[in-house]
Structure 1
């Protein structure tokens, strides 16, 4: 199990060599899993670096994987967050309990229904949508999680909002936490993920760009990341 962390533009992540290595690690080291990709490395600020470095950063994208391999971690693997959370469920659903937060009410309801269908013995101790409008709602959510003591908490609200909420909860209840962004939307079919060929060939970003041309304003910055890799500036 890898306790070491590697810094990429000041962003620290663990060079896990497999999904099973990561799963074994979080089984013994409770904490917050944070997906690291090229965009997070490229656009890191003092605030986002601090959030990531306090927690368990893992390689979510090909850009981060290439940078780790360039630093000598040839077996560093890419572990997409939208797949990892389901690996956690598959691995631990017989022995651990879960709590889910995020997305719209329709999508979180569909997510819970689908999980119960696919994993009949799963223990879901609570769930709610990700639209927390008041401090009272936020406090009520945290109190509910603390009271029900789930072993695993998934929060799908986007970064850094989800990490800040998980850190607040973690102060009162140690558990395995993972931020999921839009993973519930993909899992329930409300959002289409790239076909497997594109994912396996590290071209998921290109597929998403074809489907959503407006993403070009975000993805054009990846040219700078490619330059950093070529110049070994990470």
Structure 2
């Protein structure tokens, strides 16, 4: 896959979602959603983490950056959709493990997945509220024992990245951080309507719904310098 470097971050420009998924399985790496905010806020440690794995364009800012660097066909690949693409494509040949959300959310997520994909093999799951080193050790040991092919971690940044990095050291698999994707999947959080998504205006819709995000959005003006 083609890639560019920006602020020490290697950002891939996949030609399709399938290419991105195939690359993740070929390398057994962590899929890291990259947007303008992550690029701006990344310190050296986080930049190195993304570059050691597979950073993909999850936000329109990352897409614009790729397009400015010559990849005119670059398109947004929302992580909230990508994990379901992986399940759809690989559920008959790979095994899965899910971590994240409140207890009722992870229960509802697993139940819905099993309804939509009756033949899927989910080897384990738990909520995202890991309260102690003992709980984390139990999770690590369970994953080491069951050896799933794909692990989804929905805890938000940077918690999910730190956990995935730790897990990757003891068990090689495809990992993806999902933020609040389980809440969206189970209908607890509403995503932007199709028109807003099709016109790369999901950020604007979220701003209308959550005006307090304006401070974060104003900071993103600094990202424009990477597009010049």
Instruction: Note whether the superposition's TM-score is higher than 0.5.
Output: yes
Taking the TM superposition and a 5 Å limit, the aligned residue runs for 1:205-216 are: 205-216=203-214
TM-score, normalised to structure 2, is: 0.97
Which of structure 1's runs of 4+ aligned residues deviate more than 3 A?
none
Please point out which of 33, 39, 42 is paired with 2:31. 33
Q: Which residue of 2 aligns with 1:12?
A: 10
Please point out which of 100, 104, 107 is paired with 2:105. 107
Alpha-carbon separation, structure 2, partners of 1:35 and 1:153 = 15
Q: Residue 221 of structure 1: SS of its match in structure 2?
A: helix
Greater mean deviation of Cα atoms: 22-31 or 65-74: 22-31
Alpha-carbon separation, structure 2, partners of 1:217 and 1:47 = 25
Taking the TM superposition and a 5 Å limit, the aligned residue runs for 1:115-154 are: 115-154=113-152
Please point out which of 185, 207, 211 is paired with 2:183. 185
Structure 1: give runs of 5+ residues left out of the alignment. Answer: none
**Contact preservation (8 Å) 2:65, 2:226:** no
Q: Which residue of 2 aligns with 1:59?
A: 57
Deviation digits for residues 43-70 of structure 1 (CA, Å, limit 9, x no counterpart):
1211221221121111111110110110
TM-score, normalised to structure 1, is: 0.95
Query: What displacement does 1:11 show?
Result: 1.6
Query: What displacement does 1:126 show?
Result: 0.3
Please point out which of 164, 167, 174 is paired with 1:166. 164
Query: What is the CA RMSD across the aligned residues, in angstroms?
Result: 1.0
Alpha-carbon separation, structure 2, partners of 1:196 and 1:11 = 30
Query: What displacement does 1:5 show?
Result: 3.0
Structure 2: give runs of 5+ residues left out of the alignment. Answer: none
Alpha-carbon separation, structure 1, partners of 2:69 and 2:33 = 19
Alpha-carbon separation, structure 1, partners of 2:209 and 2:129 = 26
Q: Residue 220 of structure 1: SS of its match in structure 2?
A: helix
Greater mean deviation of Cα atoms: 114-123 or 14-23: 14-23
Q: Which residue of 1 aligns with 2:41?
A: 43
Query: What displacement does 1:173 show?
Result: 0.9
